């Protein structure tokens, strides 16, 4: 049976843990509002950029794009060649199943493409460490970006975009796939597996309206405009993705720390009850010994 000293030490340690988890919950709750605001601000721009790229691409013919850098970003190439995986995880743990679900999705994707050369771009320490631990696969880390959460900015997205372009243009890569957590609500996140390049997979029909309405004059020209917009388009999509992942991580951490604090409170109540019962049993035992002693003296 545990002594009163052991139970008191256990209660003190659980209270200390509860203070930490509660503080982490409050920090995540304070940051999630700013992260939600950033997502709401970036989503319309990213969606409009998607529509604009689709409209411009459908205004052009194959002859217009022939021999241009833009054509390389749209067309299928290097069939059966290497693949590029961009894995976005958190830098830290204590956020429930946020990282676990991402790593499971990444493992399933890697298993599906076993036997092919895979270049990996990792965002977040958890993903980087996971890739380093894998054995028996033809993996090569092409770029890593860690320590940016929870202050991810457009500069990080542009740095990521520049390196993805570098990998796609200099290596025999067939496609670039992105795996990340999308923020749905404070209680739910959704794993997204999306192909970033080539871009033709994102062109459904010809934008929202089918064709650009009216006659427009493009200066210096449609092809040049498309080529100038594509890097900004990829940067905007990656920026939105980083914000989605950041908000999803904060929401998952807030929920996990709230559950941990609640469990700590329940554990403290149980330990306090156990301590009181132990102390009551000790007092009862001492009283019985005193009564027995007095009876023996009186006899």
Residue positions annotated with a catalytic role: 95
Q: Contact, 271 vs 14, CB < 8 A? A: yes
Cα(234)–Cα(70) distance, integer angstroms: 12
d(CA 214, CA 273): 77
Assess contact for 120 and 143: CB atoms under 8 A: no
What DSSP character marks residue 240?
H
Nearest to 3 by CA among 280, 275, 283: 275
Token pair listed for 177: 């796939």
CA distance 192 to 114: 20
Closest CA to 244 of 152, 146, 122, 126: 152
The arrangement of strands across the sheet holding 82-88 comes to: 139-145, 118-123, 82-88, 173-185, 188-197
CA proximity to 194, closest of 220, 213, 174, 176: 176
Question: Would you call 118 exposed, middle or buried from its count of C-beta atoms within 10 A (0-12, 13-18, 19+)?
Answer: buried
Phi first, then psi: what are they for 178, rounded to 5°?
Answer: -115, 130
Q: Under a CB-based contact definition with an 8 Å cutoff, are residues 191 and 99 in contact? A: no
Round to whole Å and give the CA distance between 224 and 70: 9
Task: Tokens for 277, please give them.
Answer: 């019962």
């Amino acid at each position: 049976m545990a002594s009163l000293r052991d139970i008191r030490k256990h209660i003190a340690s659980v209270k200390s843990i509860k203070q930490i988890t509660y503080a982490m919950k409050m920090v995540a709750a304070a940051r999630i509002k700013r992260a939600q605001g950033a997502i709401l601000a970036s989503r319309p721009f990213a969606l409009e950029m998607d529509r604009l790229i689709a409209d411009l691409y459908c205004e052009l013919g194959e002859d217009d794009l022939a021999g241009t850098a833009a054509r390389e970003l749209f067309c299928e190439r290097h069939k059966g060649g290497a693949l590029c995986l961009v894995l976005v995880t958190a830098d830290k743990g204590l956020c429930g199943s946020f990282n676990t679900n991402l790593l499971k999705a990444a493992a399933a994707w890697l298993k599906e493409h076993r036997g092919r050369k895979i270049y990996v771009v990792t965002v977040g320490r958890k993903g980087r460490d996971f890739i380093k631990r894998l054995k028996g696969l033809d993996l090569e880390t092409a770029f890593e970006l860690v320590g940016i959460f929870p202050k991810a900015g457009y500069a990080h997205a542009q740095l990521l975009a520049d390196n993805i372009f570098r990998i796609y243009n200099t290596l025999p890569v067939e496609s670039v796939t992105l795996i990340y957590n999308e923020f749905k609500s404070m209680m739910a996140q959704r794993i997204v597996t999306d192909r970033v390049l080539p871009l033709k997979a994102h062109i459904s029909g010809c934008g929202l309206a089918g064709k650009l309405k009216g006659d427009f004059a493009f200066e210096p020209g449609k092809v040049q405009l498309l080529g100038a917009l594509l890097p900004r388009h990829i940067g905007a999509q990656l920026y939105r993705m980083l914000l989605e992942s950041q908000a999803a991580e904060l929401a998952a951490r807030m929920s996990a720390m709230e559950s941990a604090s609640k469990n700590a409170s329940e554990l403290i109540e149980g330990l306090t009850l156990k301590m009181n019962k132990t102390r009551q049993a000790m007092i009862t035992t001492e009283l019985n010994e005193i009564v027995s002693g007095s009876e023996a003296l009186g006899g």
